[in-house]
Amino acid sequence: MTKAPLILVSPNIEKKGDEFGDLSTALSETYQMALMGAGAIPLAMPATAARKVIAECVRRADGILLTGGEDVDPSLYADHVPVKLRRTVNVTPDGGARDLREVTLVDEVFRQRKPLLAICRGHQVLNVALGGSLFLDIPSQIKGAISHRRHDKKSDIVHDVHLTADSVLAKIAGKRTLGVNSTHHQAVERPAEPLTVTGRSADGVVEAMQLKPELAHLLPFLLSVQFHPERLADRYPAHRAIFTAFTRACVANRRKKL
């Protein structure tokens, strides 16, 4: 019997916890259900920026999942942000600790060569951690953009993503067009050098990325998506398949290292 892979999940930060009102880590059950549905065991990453602890968490895990949440602090990728745009940004309530923690986490993932799935904010964090940049506010910066901030339909398909032939996501989904949900107002502007765009919405917004073919050897699996497949996995096979493929990659990589 195959041992279920352990997935380290970077949780969100809440301004006020239920018990004492402290800052708290929070992990939506939808991520957990999607991973367990694929045969994996999710484990929330502790709230620390200590490299030694993060490195040990990655070492013990079979794969890493970067989740959604607030905006990435623009000071990590932009030298100057106009006041008007700055007002649209809603950063994490912990003074940027989550940003720094996840940038370190990405670095450790590459150093230890573990499978990585990045979702929504995680998709953006990955891009920033590897040297890319973001649009701070789609409505303000992308002319003719569709509405990407559909919190009223966060668990429903609201637009299509057009996928590159033979890309990781196209192979997983088994098709070139994928219907997705959409709950973001920021997006990848300049893709980081190691990454290639493999999915865009009709207005050109980057919806999926993977490693460039010549750099695919750097990780056993990497897929980053701007949408939330965990909120669709219970009803849509193509979205469920994302977690199945990720879990299988985690198992295969573990076996390879035994």
- Give the start-to-end residue ranges of the domains of the chain: 6-257
More confident residue, 21 or 151: 151
Residues, the chain: 258
Q: How many CA atoms lie within 13 A of 253 on its CB side?
A: 26
Q: Which residues contact 193 (CB under 8 A, 6 or more apart)?
A: 130, 131, 132
pLDDT tens-digit readout, 141-157:
999 999 999 999 999 99
Q: Closest Cα to residue 130, out of 186, 73, 190, 187?
A: 190
pLDDT, position 1? 61
pLDDT, position 16? 76
pLDDT above 70 for 17? yes
Topology (CATH level 3) of domain 6-257: Rossmann fold (3.40.50)
User: Could you give the percent of the chain with pLDDT greater than 70?
Assistant: 99
CB distance 36 to 5 below 8 Å: no
Q: Closest Cα to residue 66, out of 30, 25, 39, 102?
A: 102
The alpha helices in the chain, defined as continuous H runs, are 29-37, 51-60, 83-86, 97-112, 121-129, 138-141, 168-173, 237-257
pLDDT band, residue 114 (cuts 50/70/90): very high
Tokens in use for 56? 């040990």
Terminal-residue alpha carbon distance, the chain:
16
pLDDT above 80 for 253? yes
pLDDT, position 95? 85
pLDDT above 90 for 54? yes
The mean predicted confidence, pLDDT, of the chain is 96
What's 116's DSSP letter?
A: E
CA angle 35, 190, 130 (to 5 degrees): 55
pLDDT above 90 for 15? no
Helix (H) or strand (E) run with residue 209 in it: strand 206-211
Q: Closest Cα to residue 76, out of 61, 88, 91?
A: 91
pLDDT tens-digit readout, 201-245:
999 999 999 999 999 999 999 999 999 999 999 999 999 999 999
Helix (H) or strand (E) run with residue 226 in it: none
